[in-house]
Amino acid sequence: MTSDFNEITDAPLSCGIEFLTDFWREKYLQEYIKNGGSKLKFITGRPGSGKTHFLRLMSSIAAQEHYKTVWFSAKDVWMHDFKEVYVEIFHQSGLLDCLQALSLQVVKDMGFDCQEIPEGMKFFDYLSQNGMGDAMNKREIRTLLKQLFLDNPMLDNNFALACSMLTGSILGYPLLEDPSRDMLLAWLEGDRAVKLSQLRSLGFYPSRITKFNARHMLRSLAEVVRLSGYCGLFIAVDDLEILISRSSLEPVHYTKAKREDSYESIRQLIDDIDSMKNIMFIYGFDRELMDHENAGLKAYQALWMRIQNEIVGERFNRFSDMVDLDLLAAQEYTPDVIISMSESLAHAHKNAAITPLDMDAAREIAAQARTGAVGIPKLVQIAMEEVSRNV
């Protein structure tokens, strides 16, 4: 959906689309993903069909269901190198907040009340102040950190060790100096300026995070998010049609090689998604990316073979991994639903002159959407603006 429509963020603009969002909330967010599953889906449709709004709405629903949510545009993050995707997800995931929650879990597992620790004081300093900073409690902290991270098969060994050391620094033991803490965080986000020799001085021997191991690191990140109390990680990527754009106004430009590398990166993610847990990806794009014969998805057979079987049937399938919002609109957006959409927009819009549509206008929009180049949500907005000008 275009950004101007999406700016009206306070409106309950779920009319019609709840046919899908309610289903995903129940079947995926409340059940499958929460219980350890993983999923990758695609959202497509004509310009103005509601893709961006759908991604924003699902991100909001995921946050309500206690997921850590990530949203970004392919116009802002290079898609041909999955390391760049991982770094953006890492930045939005708030790893330190997750580790803070896990440090509180360690405190509870040791039989202490977190409320009794003075604000701003580290747990081990509290123990020492009360005559309990002995070898036994030090060993217990190390054991619990090992069980949380190093013994977890879902975590990369180096990722686990880094998280263990960072959590220890939050607890106050094992002690980690600020420069070492910053260096660990920089390595976790793929900063190439970090010298591996300096990391070795901390007692572990990591390799650099690259496009080849970034998916493995993402799996580890999702596991830490889950351990910290979230149901999982929900990731929405918008504007994937930028891969075939030739506009000089776009902030990024994809060569043929970079575009194919982007398709290969998505193909590899599809193949690896079942090895992950508690994570859901959604990619949104204009249907031109699917229909373009020379540069679109069909041009990269290794990826197209994995998704082409999804594009079948005349009725909308809510389990489909390739979601066609145009087909959903044709099936679910009746004139009554279109009027409800306009009422929500009119209620949210700051311009009092914008009024809801009548039944004749709603029928006209439904008919126009079947043959036009723009989807129903955008047509509703255009029609309401036209009505306001004629009032």
In this predicted model, what pLDDT tens digit does every residue of 97-124 receive, in sequence order?
Answer: 999 999 999 999 999 999 999 999 999 9
**Pairwise CA distance, residues 373 & 362, whole Å:** 17
What is the arithmetic mean of pLDDT over 315-328? 86
Is a pLDDT exceeding 60 seen at residue 321? yes
Identify the three-state secondary structure at position 80: coil
If pLDDT is split at 50, 70 and 90, which confidence band does 16 have? Answer: low
Query: Is the pLDDT higher at 54 or at 343?
Result: 54
Is a pLDDT exceeding 90 seen at residue 65? yes
Q: Can you list the alpha helix ranges (DSSP code H) found in the chain?
A: 3-6, 18-24, 51-64, 82-93, 95-109, 123-129, 135-145, 157-171, 178-188, 196-200, 214-227, 256-272, 288-291, 301-307, 325-332, 335-348, 359-371, 376-390
**Tally of CA atoms within 13 A in the half-sphere of 212 that contains its CB:** 2
If pLDDT is split at 50, 70 and 90, which confidence band does 5 have? Answer: very low
What is the arithmetic mean of pLDDT over 126-135? 95
CB 149 within 8 A of CB 155: yes
Calculate the average pLDDT of the chain: 89
In this prediction, residue 249 carries a pLDDT of 78
Report the phi/psi class of residue 203: left, alpha or beta, with left for phi > 0 and alpha for psi in -120 to 50.
left
Q: What is the largest CA-CA distance in the chain?
A: 80
pLDDT tens by residue, 183-237: 999 999 999 999 988 888 888 888 999 999 999 999 999 999 999 999 999 999 9
Is a pLDDT exceeding 70 seen at residue 322? yes
Structure tokens at 203: 């007692």
Identify the three-state secondary structure at position 366: helix
**Pairwise CA distance, residues 81 & 101, whole Å:** 31
In this prediction, residue 314 carries a pLDDT of 66
Task: Give Cβ neighbours of residue 311 (< 8 Å, ≥ 6 apart).
Answer: 290, 322, 324
Q: Smallest Cα–Cα separation from 240: which of 43, 374, 49?
A: 43
CB 234 within 8 A of CB 70: yes
If pLDDT is split at 50, 70 and 90, which confidence band does 316 have? Answer: confident
**Pairwise CA distance, residues 160 & 294, whole Å:** 43
pLDDT tens by residue, 249-283: 787 889 999 999 999 999 999 999 999 999 999 99
